[in-house]
Amino acid sequence: MAGQESTSHPQRLVMLHIFPSFGFGGQQARFAALAKGLGPDAYHQVVALDGDVAARGLLPSDAPVRYRAFDAKKSSLASLSNIAGFRSLLREVRPDILCTYNWGAIEAAIANRAFRRTPHLHFEDGFGPGESPDNQPQRRVLARRAVLRNSAIIVPSRVLERVAIDVWKLPRSRVVYIQNGIDIERFASGPAGRGGESVTIGSVGALRAEKNYLRLINAVAALDDARAIRLEIVGEGPERDALQSVIDACTSEVSMTLPGPTSAPQTAYQRFGIFALSSDTEQAPLSLMEAMAAGLPVVATDVGDIADMVAPENRTFITPLGDDEAYANALTALAKDPALREKLGSANAQKAAQEFSVASMVDAHRALYWSLVKD
């Protein structure tokens, strides 16, 4: 993977992307940014194994992207039917690069290794419920070690980089850290509704178990002066009904809403006064970068790279995982102090502008893609 210089090429890359899901999420938002940044240099075919392609709304209708159906069978590790299907798909598309995303797409990597040997990029973005950097199912560790050892593995966090090298035992030369990036100007449009006496605590993300939005709901419900607080969790996912039931049963006077997913998250950040992450596991969340670019102070659990991502002034409000009292106290302190929110938000906006450039991310990916084709 040498020679990763940023340059243009006359050839158009054909890229086949296998997502467990193409619903709204950070992984899909990054793909949209990369597809826009690469422009006519690449043509993308996208498979969503669960059939959900809602995140196509993040891309313009004329983007060089085709969405393909795939009849995926449920399996505990690997389905021969799925592997055969991926083999046929690879033969049909004949991509220059195969891109697979997280454990849910591992069967496509198996099919490629066994039959096709197309240059392969595997994206790892984090863990599911019950997993952590130091607690992972052994069979998944061994499968990654066997299937991905000749692939390029892209990780967006230093924590995942360590896991890939030290736990999965993948060759250091094959593990590539590329920091995520965002369109800073899109999110730095300034607050639209942060004035007045009340404050909205908000989050943007998939409603999945590992996000542990119950921690956030409980912390907000316990805040003093509840009538001056609102909670808004923007997103969709399998935990929606359970979270809504908790909200419906809550006796707090806090207004709590689950408005659903959005293809324009910048409008949500404009409504927030505090951005909150309550996850049991994260790596380098795009939503955090977006919130920082929007000038928001952050309360979050100390997982993944989050503590290093926020401005130094904000790190006091990144609380130890499992210490829900500290998490609630951090929310209380920010909710009561408009001047502190302004100070931390400004520091976060400055750090986001300096470090989270989408152009740098696109350049790094483009260089890696062409290095794989050259190899």
Output the pLDDT for position 7: 39
In the block, tokens 């590790």 appear at 77
In the block, tokens 């316990």 appear at 222
Going by pLDDT thresholds of 50, 70 and 90, the confidence category of residue 5 is very low
In the CATH hierarchy, which fold is given to the domain comprising 13-181+357-374?
Rossmann fold (3.40.50)
Listed range (7-21, 72-86, 306-320) with the worst mean pLDDT: 7-21
Output the pLDDT for position 9: 44
pLDDT in tens, 221-247: 988 776 689 999 999 999 999 999 999
Rounded Cα gap, residues 119 and 94, in angstroms: 11
* The model's pTM: 0.84
Output the pLDDT for position 190: 61
In the block, tokens 């399998």 appear at 238
The residues that bridge with 147 in the sheet, in sequence order, are none
Output the pLDDT for position 1: 47
Q: Is the pLDDT of residue 98 over 60?
A: yes
In the block, tokens 């340059």 appear at 7
Output the pLDDT for position 21: 94
Q: Helices marked H in the chain — which ranges?
A: 26-38, 80-93, 106-111, 138-147, 158-162, 184-187, 213-221, 240-249, 265-271, 286-293, 306-309, 324-335, 338-355, 358-374
Please provide the DSSP assignment of 30-88 as one string.
HHHHHHHHHGGGEEEEEEETTS--GGGGGS-TTSSEEEE---PPP-SS--HHHHHHHHH
* pLDDT, mean over the chain: 91
Structure tokens at 273: 């006064």
Output the pLDDT for position 194: 61
Q: Is the pLDDT of residue 126 over 50?
A: yes
CB environment 67-88: b (16+ within 10 A), e (fewer): eeeeebeeeeeebeebbebbbe
Where does CATH 3.40.50.2000 sit in the chain? Answer: 13-181+357-374, 184-355
> Looking at the domain that runs over 184-355, which CATH code has it been given?
3.40.50.2000
Output the pLDDT for position 218: 95
Determine what percent of the chain is predicted with pLDDT higher than 90: 82
Q: Is the pLDDT of residue 193 over 70?
A: no
Query: Other C-beta atoms within 10 Å of 128: how many?
Result: 16
Average pLDDT value for residue range 204-217: 95
Pairing of strands 229-234, 255-260: parallel
Rounded Cα gap, residues 365 and 178, in angstroms: 8
pLDDT in tens, 33-44: 999 999 999 999
3 state SS of 298: strand
Q: Is the pLDDT of residue 6 over 90?
A: no
Output the pLDDT for position 266: 93
Output the pLDDT for position 374: 82
Q: Is the pLDDT of residue 74 over 90?
A: no
Rounded Cα gap, residues 317 and 303, in angstroms: 13
Output the pLDDT for position 192: 52
Q: Is the pLDDT of residue 340 over 50?
A: yes
Q: Is the pLDDT of residue 4 over 90?
A: no
